[in-house]
A = this chain, B = another copy of it.
Amino acid sequence: MSETDPETEILAAADRTDALRLAEAFLFAAAEPVSARALAPLLPPDQEPQAVLAELAGRYAGRGVELVEMAGGWQFRTAADLAPRLRRVISVPRRLPRAAMETLAIVAYHQPVTRAEIEAIRGAALAQATLDALLELGLVEPKGRRETPGRPTLWATTPVFLSRFGLGTLGDLPRREDLLIEPAVAQAEFAPQA
């Protein structure tokens, strides 16, 4: 007989519902992104975590809260289009100053990178306040030392950086060549921000 026993089907559906509820609860409760691997032990053995997460994400698509995949896992986040109205009721920290954003971008593209290299690319000294701000937010971290005279500290971005900007991996950053491809367009985008 080719058709599945109706009872088995009902049980399978119940298992799926259970898996979806568990995944929903677990992801809602977590403060950090949750990987499929971390979810797996909670689910019924026949439920594939990646599939459960994808189905859950589908159910939340278009809602006020969405399930997005990024750095090392899945996380519920409010929908981006609601930002202007949510900001009226949720206090938001100040945006990072230009110097901090530039330093962060240099670290992201050139990591691991020394302080001297960051300063050379920006053509300006790295202010203590800038480094402090990036460290405080957990966006960059020391990553060993370069084995050259003076053994300068090397800096790299953290998973918090990926999570904050909604990136899966560093590979999701646009390539430098793609950024520079159309100088005219590039210059238009320079429009003074902040």
Contact = CB atoms under 8 A, between A and B. Distances in A.
A79 interface: yes
Contacts of A82: 21-22, 25
Interface stretch (A84-92, A125-133, A168-176): A84-92
A24 B64 CA distance: 5
Q: What band does the interface of chain A fall in when counting residues whose beta carbon is under 8 Å from B? A: 20 to 34
Nearest to A43: B85
Interface string A6-29: 000000000000001111111011
A30 interface: yes
Contact of A28 (B22, B78, B85, B88): B78
Nearest to A19: B64
A71 B170 CA distance: 44
A42 B78 contact: no
Interface in A38-69: 38, 41-42, 63-65
Contacts of A79: 21, 25
A99 to B, nearest CB: 29
B28 A76 contact: yes
Nearest to A24: B64
Interface string A140-160: 000000000000000000000
A20 B79 CA distance: 12
A5 B108 CA distance: 55
Given A42-B88, A88-B41, A89-B42, A63 B26 contact: no
Given A38-B89, A88-B41, A63 B24 contact: yes
A120 B63 CA distance: 54
Interface string A82-125: 10011011100000000000000000000000000000000000
Q: Which of A25, A26, A29 has the most CB of B within 10 A?
A: A25
